[in-house]
Amino acid sequence: MRVAVVGATGMVGNVMLTVLREQNFPITELIPVASEKSVGQEISFGSQLYKVVGLETAVTMKPDVAIFSAGGDTSLEWAPKFAEVGTYVIDNSSAWRMDPTKKLVVPEINGDVLTAEDMIIANPNCSTIQMVMVMAPLHKKYKIKRVIVSTYQSITGTGVKAVKQMENERAGIAGDMAYHYPIDKNCIPHCDTFLDNGYTKEEMKLMNEPKKILDPAIQVTATAVRVPVVGGHSEAVNIEFENDFDLAEVRKILHDTPGVTLKDDPTTNSYPMPKYAEAKDDVFVGRIRRDESNPNTLNLWIVADNLRKGAATNAVQIAQLLVKKGILKVESIA
């Protein structure tokens, strides 16, 4: 299968290459794609070297699937061009997520909605993915009414420039700033740009995307905060259900959910942390307890590597699902 990775030289693109290799995705030819300044660079994949090409060249190569992680503007312009030549596009930006004509997919939750007609498929926001992975089985059992989420988001969600800023600050070196303020020894309640309603784009993604993936009746409100962490995003989530629940049953449901790891034992100080979620594909959940201020309401703590399940892993899982459904036909590729 001919696979293009658009944004191959970026932080998420690098992880996508790692995940594709780990998952033994059936690649006969890798097409690494990046901006013009990176064209001609060589990328190692398995035992082979592949030269980075530009977007226009990549379209003419007609890959079977293209996984995008190159920003919303690039996706809006180029995803349709790939789709026109018969390439299935899995897009990691926010460009297509709320488009009513495009599917927003977490394979474990709503992968059944995909059809051969879905040439452009949206990958949800990283913070959304880990939250809905926990919400979905609980919604099925108890029916969620409302969610209040506060995030503690890794600087890797901003990119290499943010990681370098924190490293510089820790080393006492002056350098380029990814944020308006220092990030080391700080928390910045500002993820993405502010909108007219006072929320950031990141917060609105968390408020809108779960409704599209799970149920439009679910109400969500969010506060997103950037913290000096590299391992993954953490979320404090308060969920109000229509029906009451049993804590032991909640733990069993989550324990039995594929892609979710239960880590919830206060007696041994066992709970999810980004330090231990880093480089893992599962979503980790713990600190499960009843909200004693409101009936039928649950508090929990969710952590996941935002570059893996929050981005690259979920995108590759969508591609794997297309193969499994026979939409991407491996045997027909020369």
Residues 184 and 251 in one domain: yes
Residues 72 and 153 in one domain: no
Residues 185 and 55 in one domain: no
Specify the CATH number for the domain of residue 80. 3.40.50.720
Residues 228 and 140 in one domain: yes
Residue 331: pLDDT band by 50, 70, 90 thresholds?
low
Residues 189 and 258 in one domain: yes
Tell me how far CA of residue 38 lies from CA of 43, 54, 55, 310, in angstroms: 11, 8, 11, 25
Residues 17 and 148 in one domain: no
| Residues 239 and 297: beta-carbon distance below 8 Å | yes
Q: In this predicted model, what pLDDT tens digit does every residue of 44-65 receive, in sequence order?
A: 998 899 999 999 999 999 999 9
Residue 329: pLDDT band by 50, 70, 90 thresholds?
confident
In 3-state terms the chain splits into helix, strand, coil percentages (rounded to 5) of: 35, 25, 40
Tell me how far CA of residue 70 lies from CA of 13, 46, 163, in angstroms: 8, 23, 18
Residue 333 has a pLDDT of 43
Q: Which two tokens stand for residue 226?
A: 């950037």
Q: Among positive and negative, which fits the CA dihedral 67, 125, 260, 241?
A: negative
Specify the CATH number for the domain of residue 255. 3.30.360.10
Residues 272 and 318 in one domain: no
Tell me how far CA of residue 322 lies from CA of 49, 91, 194, in angstroms: 26, 14, 36
Q: Is the pLDDT of residue 332 over 60?
A: no
Residue 47 has a pLDDT of 86
Complete DSSP assignment for 20-81: HHHTT---SEEEEE--GGGTT-EEEETTEEEE-B-HHHHHHT--SEEEE-S-HHHHHHHHHH
Helix count and strand count (H, E) for the chain: 10, 14
Residues 16 and 142 in one domain: no
Please give the Cα distance from 121 to 327 (Å, whole number).
13
Which positions are catalytic? Answer: 126, 233
Q: Mean pLDDT over residues 300-307, rounded?
A: 98
Residue 304: pLDDT band by 50, 70, 90 thresholds?
very high
Closest CA to 92 of 66, 54, 58: 66
Q: Which two tokens stand for residue 25?
A: 């995705």
Q: In this predicted model, what pLDDT tens digit does every residue of 217-247 receive, in sequence order?
A: 999 999 999 999 999 999 999 999 999 999 9
Please give the Cα distance from 185 to 187 (Å, whole number).
7
Q: In this predicted model, what pLDDT tens digit does every residue of 240-295 receive, in sequence order?
A: 999 999 999 999 999 999 999 999 999 999 999 999 999 999 999 999 999 999 99
Tell me how far CA of residue 208 lies from CA of 110, 265, 309, in angstroms: 16, 32, 19
Q: Which two tokens stand for residue 3?
A: 């696979």
Residues 83 and 141 in one domain: no
Residues 97 and 236 in one domain: no
Domain boundaries, position 174: 127-305
Q: Which two tokens stand for residue 104?
A: 């927003």
Per the structure, the count of domains in the chain is 2
Residues 131 and 280 in one domain: yes
Closest CA to 66 of 106, 20, 23: 20
Residues 213 and 322 in one domain: no
Q: In this predicted model, what pLDDT tens digit does every residue of 69-128 receive, in sequence order?
A: 999 999 999 999 999 999 999 999 999 999 999 999 999 999 999 999 999 999 999 999
Q: Which two tokens stand for residue 20?
A: 């594709």
